[in-house]
Structure formats: structure tokens, C-alpha cells
Amino acid sequence: MQRSLHVEEIRGHSVRDFEVEIVERKGKGHPDSLIDGACEAVSLGLSRHYVNEFGSILHHNVDKGILVGGKSDARFGGGRVSTPIYLMVAGRATELVPYKGKNVLIPVEEIARQSIRGFIKETMRFLDPDMHVVIDTKIKQGSPDLVSVFMRKGAMPVSNDTSIGVGYAPLTPTESLVLGIEKRLNSQPFKKKYPEVGEDVKVMGMRRGKKLEVTVAAAMVAPLIPDASHYVSVLGDVGGEVDKLSSGLELEVKYKLNAADDLKRADYYLTVTGTSAEQGDDGNTTGKILNALSILTAQEIVKEVKGVREAYVRVLSRIGKPIDQPLIASAAVVLERGGKISAVHSEIESILDDSLRDIRRVTELILQRKIPLF
């Protein structure tokens, strides 16, 4: 079956040519990232169980989640979480499987909760999933029709929703710096050297012309910080990392660290566990497979097609249809000066087609955790 593919040229400025560019990055300990990660952990846990028991991933849809922030009393040298964080993942999953003449019951809720606990332990150094988090799941049996479809060996899975995925490449210098700052502050070498910096790191960049203003919010771990002077010293080292990452850019970079701090009033961004989720900051979830496919495809177009400066890929699925047959897969590209869309059209269309044909590879990469989803 022929796929619905589309390629067009974007005429005008690319993003890096815009006068104003705004970029945000939320680190792995941010409440939104925590609930994203919890949902993803449940999906991975279920997928691995399905593959181990039945040889294929069965239908599940566990992308609905909410994190309700708790309460804490953080102070230099200590503190405690007085009201735990509430984290709930909801959705649908195959619970009863007709297999080899028997109906096999899957312990969905147990798998889900253990997956969330494991994710929190792996992600956060000081957030205890048993002491600091109330883990809840509301996962019901999925559609019997979809169970039978997913049990067909070799069959292309069908889309269980009508949804859109968007990807783009390459990153602009602003995007690269914002992402790089968060990655550096949450890297193992940095955490080993500066354990006082929590995992909840949020970076916002605003470029206007050649001037880039960066705001970094880094939750500090109060039990590891004895006093205000130590806090200021560590924050200064954070600034040193921003300086290193900014060097060499053709931009005038200025930054502000923990902008809500007020030293005169003794207000500091202190947490007990390294995340603002303990202090009433809530979180919600975002999407997955089509976004991952779109990003990978955009990256490949920029890498492989000579003359393409930027690529934006949009994929719109159709409920009930095979995932490799979307309603449309569209690539819009910005070309180098003098380039013509007619010269690259067929190559870009071929990459779109190949990406959809090999869409199951995205699932494997997600299971292997080789694709950053948030």
C-alpha cells in the first residue's frame, strides 16, 4: 500500500534567523519530567513482561498521569517532607491474555507500581519512593479487539488514537546551550562533584538578536548545605559550568541563577529531596512514539540530504489503521541559499517512507532506552 507522504519547502527565515527565540528545558527531576518518566517506566515494565511471556508487546496505553506536589520544610543542614508527593498513572493495558488454550492473568497493577518505584530510585538520589511518594495506579483492561490484533504474529500494530507527532532538526545554538546546561548539571560527573545540586533543573533561554539571556532554576539539596555561604559558593560553581558551555558561541550570553532567591530576606531555593515536587509543584504528562519517530526522521533528513538547513516533520496517525500508514507524514524543509525543492524532494520522501516502514525500530529503541523522550 502506498503511503501518504508530503514534502515542501519553507520559504523565508529559519528559526536561528528570527529576532526572538525562546527555548525551555525541564530536567529529569522536574515534576512534569517525573510524571512523564513514571508513565514511561510503566510502559517499559509492561512491554518487557509481554515480550518475555508472549513474545510480543501487547496493547497498552498508560500515558495519563498526574503528580500532585507535597509539602516540605527545607532548611540549611536538614529538613523533612511532611506531606508526601501523590503520583498516579492511569490508562488501559492488556490484563487477560488468551494464550495456548488458557486465559493468562497479567499482574498489571503490581508491574506498574514496581516500575514506578524503580524509576524513582534510579532517577532521584534523595527522593525515597516509599517515604516521600504515594504511588497510585488506575489501569483498566484494554479493548479485547486490540488484544487479538496485537497477538497476530508479524502483523503491523494499529494506531489506538488519532494523534500527531512533531520533530525538527538541527538544534539552534540557543537550543543546544539550553539543553547542554541541563544535561551538564544532571550528569554523573557533576553530581559527584556537586551533590548539593538536585535533579530538578529548569533552564529557560531567550535570544534577541545576538544577545541570549538564560535563566537557570536548580533545586538545592538542603541537608548537604550547612549555611548560606555554602549555598552561594555552589551556585557560583554552577555559573562556572554555564560559562564553560557558553564559551565559543557567537552570542552574548548572560545568565541568572535561581532568580527567585532573595539573600536579604534569606529566601533560597532549598529542597529536602532535590525536586520542587515536594513543595506543591504539580506535574502532568506528554506524548511519545510519533514524536520520537518525527525527531529521528528530521535528524536523518538534515544529516543525509545535502542542501537542507532545517527540517520539520509532522506525522498524523489514524485510529484503527496500521501505524506505518498514517493519514499523512509531512516534511517541511528550509534549504540553503540557492537550493531547489525539486532537487531534494525524492530523497526526502524516500527517508519518510523508510522511517515509516521501519517504525517498529522506534519501539525497540525506546525499550532499549536509546531515545530521550522528554
**Tens of pLDDT, residues 324-350:** 988 789 898 999 988 999 999 999 999
Q: What is the pLDDT of residues 297-306, one digit of tens each?
A: 999 999 999 9
Would you place residue 151 in the very low, low, confident or very high pLDDT band (cuts 50, 70, 90)? low
pLDDT for residue 144:
61
Per-residue pLDDT for 160 more than 80? no
Q: What is the pLDDT of residues 93-133, one digit of tens each?
A: 999 988 888 889 999 999 999 999 999 999 999 999 999 99
**Superfamily designation of domain 5-15+164-170+286-367:** S-adenosylmethionine synthetase, C-terminal domain (3.30.300.280)
Q: Do domains 5-15+164-170+286-367 and 17-27+172-283 have the same CATH topology?
A: yes
Would you place residue 317 in the very low, low, confident or very high pLDDT band (cuts 50, 70, 90)? confident
pLDDT for residue 159:
76
Calculated CA dihedral for residues 176, 178, 184, 186, nearest 10 degrees: -130
Among candidate residues 25, 354, 35, the one with its CA nearest the CA of residue 217: 25
pLDDT for residue 297:
95
pLDDT for residue 143:
66
pLDDT for residue 318:
65
Do the beta carbons of residue 10 and residue 311 sit within 8 Å? no
Dihedral class, residue 4 (left if φ above 0, else alpha if ψ from -120 to 50, else beta)? beta
Strand (E) or helix (H) holding 231:
helix 228-246
Do the beta carbons of residue 337 and residue 16 sit within 8 Å? no
Domain 31-150 CATH (choose: 3.30.70.270, 3.30.300.10, 3.60.15.10, 3.40.50.300): 3.30.300.10
Would you place residue 249 in the very low, low, confident or very high pLDDT band (cuts 50, 70, 90)? very high
DSSP letter at 224? G
Segment 72-80 mean pLDDT: 97
Structural domain spans, the chain: 5-15+164-170+286-367, 17-27+172-283, 31-150
Domain 17-27+172-283 CATH (choose: 3.30.565.10, 1.10.1740.10, 3.90.1150.10, 3.30.300.340): 3.30.300.340
Handedness of CA 303, 306, 311, 316 (dihedral sign): negative
Return the percentage of the chain with pLDDT > 90, whole number: 67
Calpha distance 134→67 (Å, rounded)? 10
